[in-house]
Structure 1
Amino acid sequence: MKYRTIGTDPHNRREVSVLALGAMLFGSRTDEETSFALLDRYVEAGGNFIDTSDNYAFWVDGGQGGQSEELLGRWRRSRGIGGEIFIATKLGARPLAPGTSYIDNPEGLSAKVIRESAERSRERLGVDKLDLLYAHIDDPTVPQRETVEGFAELVAEGTVGLLGVSNQAAWRVERARAIAAAAGLPGYEVLQYAHSYLRPRSDVPDDLFPDGSLGHAGPDLLTYLRAEPALTLVAYSPLLKGSYTHPDRLPADYDHPGTPARLTVLHEIARETGATSNQVVLAWQLGGDLPIIPLAGASTLAQLEENLAAVDLELTAEQRARLDAAH
C-alpha cells in the first residue's frame, strides 16, 4: 500500500492509504460476514481509510440509514480496532423520517443538527473522535457562518479531526472556507465528489442530483483544487458502479460522443499493461498531478483484490498523455 498526507493541522493531519474503501452498502446489501471479510482484507493489505455516512443505506430499507456506521462499530469492537484506522463519515443528508430522502426531507446543516448528528455517528461507530467529518450536501436554508462555526466547535472540543465537504458548488465551498479563514477557524480540507476517467455532460441532471450535476468534480472544481494545493479530492464512484465492465450500467449523463473515444484509449492501454480497465482508471487517478484518493467500494473479495492491485500499476507518461487527450 502507498500513503499520502491529508490535512494541514499537525494535531489532526494523517497519513492515509491512497485507496479508500467505501462502506456504503456494508450492513445492508452487503451482509455482515462479507463486509467483515472485505474490511479484514483491506486492512491486511495496508489500507486504513474507510468511508461511510450517517444516511447509508436509507434507500435499501426505506429507513433513515445508519446501518453502515453500525456495522463498522461492530467490526471495530470485534477486531480490537483503534485509532490506527481512519474512518470518515458525513452528515446533512440523513432523511428526517423513514420513507423520505435527502432531496425532500434532509437533516440539513444547522449547528444543532451538526452537533447531534455527529454525536450519533460517534455512538454508532464506537469512537470518541470522528477522524474526518463531511458536510454531505449543501443546505442553503442555513447561513454558512452557522455551519462553519458548528463544525469548528466540534474540532475545538476534540470530537472531530478534519473537516470535509461534498456535492457543493465550488463557489459555496470557497465561501465557507473564506468565512472559516477570516475567523481563524478550521475549514474544509477534503473534498469528496464523483470523479472518474469518463466525463459526464454538465447539462444533464443525474439521478443523485436532479437539480444539476453538483456531485461531479467538474472543470471548475478541478481548477479550484489546482489553485489550493492543501486540499485533497476523495473521488467517489471512480468505477462508475461497474460501468467499465458492464456498459449497460453507464448513467445517461455519460451518453455523448466523448465517451466512446475515451473508452477506446482506455481499452488500448489496458491491453498494453495487462491490467483491467478498472485498474487503469484507478491508476490514472492515483498518478496524476492532482491529489486524488479514489474511493472504491467492493461487494466481493475479487473486486477488492482487483482494486488493491491498481495501487502498484504505473502508467507511462505517454500512456497518461493519451488518456488525457482523448475526447
Structure 2
Amino acid sequence: MTRIGTSSLDVLPLSLGGNVFGWTADRDESFAILDAFHGGGGDFVDTADSYSAWVDGNSGGESETIIGEWLASRRPEGFVVATKVSQHPQFSGLAAANVRAAAEASVSRLGVEAIDLYYAHFDDESVPLEETVAAFGALVTDGLVRYTAVSNYSAERIREWLRIADELGVARPVAIQPHYNLVHRNEVEESIIPVAQQFDLSLVPYFSLAKGFLTGKYRSTDASAQSSPRAGAAAQYATSQGLAIIDALEGIGRAHDVSIAAAALAWLKAQHTVAAPIASASRVAQVADLLDGARTELSADEVAELTRVSEWTPTSV
C-alpha cells in the first residue's frame, strides 16, 4: 500500500482508469472490470466528469454514473474515487461557481458523500488562480471533497497554487496527475518531480502505458491493422528506440513471470514521488496484468536498465 501525498488515502499502488467506462467498455463489462480489479486487491479508481462526452450519444458523466452504480451495488469498503473538473460540456472551466456545480453533479452521479480526490483537470488561465484555489478550498471545508489535486499543470502554476492556498489558509493539493511513462519522461522529471519532492505531493501519472504502446502490442508504426481507437497514437512510439524499450521490458517481465505492461507499470511505480500509475482495461482479461504491475518489485539494476534504455524523447506526443 502507498499513501497519497500528505493525505490519509492509503491505496494499492495502481489506479484503475475509468476513461473507458461508457466508451470501449459498456456498463456490464465495466462492472466486470471493476469486480476483477477490486477482487484482486485494487481500491483506487480514476475518472473525470467529462468521460466520455466525446462518444456519439454521450453527454459526459457516463463513467462517473457507471462507477456510482457499481459502488451502490457492491459497497466496497475503503474504495478511493478520484474525479476531475473543467472539461464537462456543461461545466467547462474553473470559475468558482462552475467548480461548485460540477462537484455537486459528480457527487450525485457517484453516489458518494464526498469525493476522495478532486482534480483541476486542466489549467484555466481565463480565471484568476485565486478564485479557483478558493473554490477548491471551500469544497474541502464544506465536506464535498476530502482532498484536492491538480492535473496537467505546469510546475510554475503548481507552485503558485500552493502559495495561494497557504495565503488563503485552505487545503493544499496532495497530488499531481501528469502525462508520464517510459516514453514520455523529460518534462515530468525535470520540472514536476522537483516540485512534488519539495512539497510532499504524490504523482498519479496518466498514459502510464503510452496509450497501449507499453503493452508490447504495437511493434510497427503502421497502425492500420489495429482496431483500437488509440492505435495510431500508440504506434508512433514504435521506433527503433521505442522497440528497444519493449525488448528490455519483455526480458525483465519474463524474469518476474509478468507481462510487458506489468513491467512498465512496475518501473513507473519505482520512480520518485509516484504513488499509483493510472492504467485502464477495456476487457476483464487485461486486469490481471495491471494488478501484477502494482505488486512487482523490480531490482535496482532492472530499474536502472529501463531508465537507461528509455532516455529519449519522441518527436511528437
**TM above 0.5, one fold?**
yes
Q: Against the structure 1 CA distance between its residues 122 and 222, is the aligned structure 2 distance closer, same or farther, given a 3 Å change threshold? A: same
Q: Distance in 2 between matches of 1:7 and 1:323?
A: 26
Q: Distance in 2 between matches of 1:270 and 1:56?
A: 32
**1:166/1:191 contact within 8 Å kept:** yes
Match of 2:67 in 1: 72
Structure 2 stretches lacking a partner, 5+ long? 224-230, 312-317
1:127 counterpart = 2:98: no
Q: Against the structure 1 CA distance between its residues 140 and 20, is the aligned structure 2 distance closer, same or farther, given a 3 Å change threshold? A: same
The range that moved more, 67-76 or 308-317, is 308-317
Q: Distance in 1 between matches of 2:238 and 2:32?
A: 36
Number of matched residues?
297
Match of 2:210 in 1: 240
1:222 counterpart = 2:189: no
Match of 1:44 in 2: 39
Shift of residue 144, structure 1, vs aligned partner: 0.2
Match of 1:211 in 2: none
Q: Distance in 2 between matches of 1:196 and 1:278?
A: 11
Match of 1:288 in 2: 271
**1:285/1:292 contact within 8 Å kept:** no
Alignment of 1:141-290 (within 5 A): 141-199=126-184, 217=188, 219-228=190-199, 230-244=200-214, 245-247=216-218, 248=223, 249=231, 250-251=233-234, 254=237, 258-290=241-273
**2:51/2:61 contact within 8 Å kept:** yes
Structure 1 stretches lacking a partner, 5+ long? 97-105, 203-215
**1:199/1:259 contact within 8 Å kept:** no
The range that moved more, 108-117 or 174-183, is 174-183
TM score, norm. by length of structure 2: 0.87
The range that moved more, 261-270 or 70-79, is 261-270
Q: Helix, strand or coil for the counterpart of 1:275?
A: coil
Q: Distance in 2 between matches of 1:85 and 1:292?
A: 16
Shift of residue 256, structure 1, vs aligned partner: 6.6
Q: Helix, strand or coil for the counterpart of 1:187?
A: coil
1:308 counterpart = 2:291: yes
Shift of residue 258, structure 1, vs aligned partner: 4.5
**2:20/2:281 contact within 8 Å kept:** no
Q: Distance in 2 between matches of 1:263 and 1:72?
A: 33
- 1:29 aligns with one of 24, 42, 52: 24
Flag the structure with more relative contact order, 1 or 2, with Cα contacts below 8 A and sequence separation at least 6: 2
The range that moved more, 247-256 or 13-22, is 247-256
Alignment RMSD (CA, Å)? 2.1
Match of 1:213 in 2: none
- 1:94 aligns with one of 83, 88, 93: 88
Shift of residue 63, structure 1, vs aligned partner: 4.1
Deviations 1:28-63 (A, max 9, x none): 321111111111121112211111110000111264
